[in-house]
Amino acid sequence: MGAAYFYHLTQRPLVETLIMLLGKAQGAGWRVAVRGKDTGSLALIDSALWQGPDDGFLPHGLAGGPHDAEQPILLTTDVDAPNGATCVFSIHGAEVSAAEVDALDRVCILFDGNDELALNTARGQWKTLKTAGASAQYWSEESGRWEKKAET
């Protein structure tokens, strides 16, 4: 049984936080799907990952290529990731379900704390997952470092 980790971004940009968390997921041996709502945003993240530090390259691919199933990190808009992901990162309000939280090792929901729509979407996701009995943690970087603020 997995857990959903909500990351309330207020200090660092999405890509910087995503790179840090993807590195941790890779270190745990997880195959990852980064799920967004549109391919344009995912293409920007793809580009940023390619331009990341040489010593911290994160092997990944943008969905729609011939080797999607082999990607350790797949950037996608689809719920069903062909790479056998055991961890899903939801960005820009992409949907996740309680069944996914239970079935996967981890679901990470990253949201922009300076965007009211993103806050409301994350609150709705938290409520839905909590009501369904899914395990969830809320993490905030408001103090300048990540701190767990709530857990179900």
Res 82 pLDDT > 80: yes
Tokens of 140: 């905030």
Provide the pLDDT for residue 1.
73
Torsion sign over Cα 101, 140, 93, 43: negative
- What burial class does residue 122 get, using C-beta atoms within 10 Å of its C-beta: 0-12 exposed, 13-18 middle, 19+ buried? buried
Provide the pLDDT for residue 63.
97
Element (H, E) at 18: helix 14-27
Neighbouring residues of 55: CB distance < 8 A, sequence distance ≥ 6: none
Provide the pLDDT for residue 116.
97
Instruction: Kindly state the percentage of the chain with pLDDT values over 70.
Output: 99
Cβ proximity of 104 and 35 under 8 Å: no
Q: What is the mean pLDDT of residues 127-147?
A: 95
Domain that holds residue 67: 3-151
In the chain, the number of structural domains is 1
Characterize the bridge pairing of strands 147-151 and 136-140: antiparallel
Domain with 70 in it: what CATH number? 3.40.50.10110
Res 53 pLDDT > 80: no
Per-residue pLDDT tens over the stretch 102-113: 999 999 999 999
Instruction: Kindly state the percentage of the chain with pLDDT values over 90.
Output: 91
Res 55 pLDDT > 80: no
Provide the pLDDT for residue 56.
76
- What burial class does residue 80 get, using C-beta atoms within 10 Å of its C-beta: 0-12 exposed, 13-18 middle, 19+ buried? exposed
SS3 27: helix
pTM here is 0.95
* In the block, residue with structure tokens 């997995």: 2
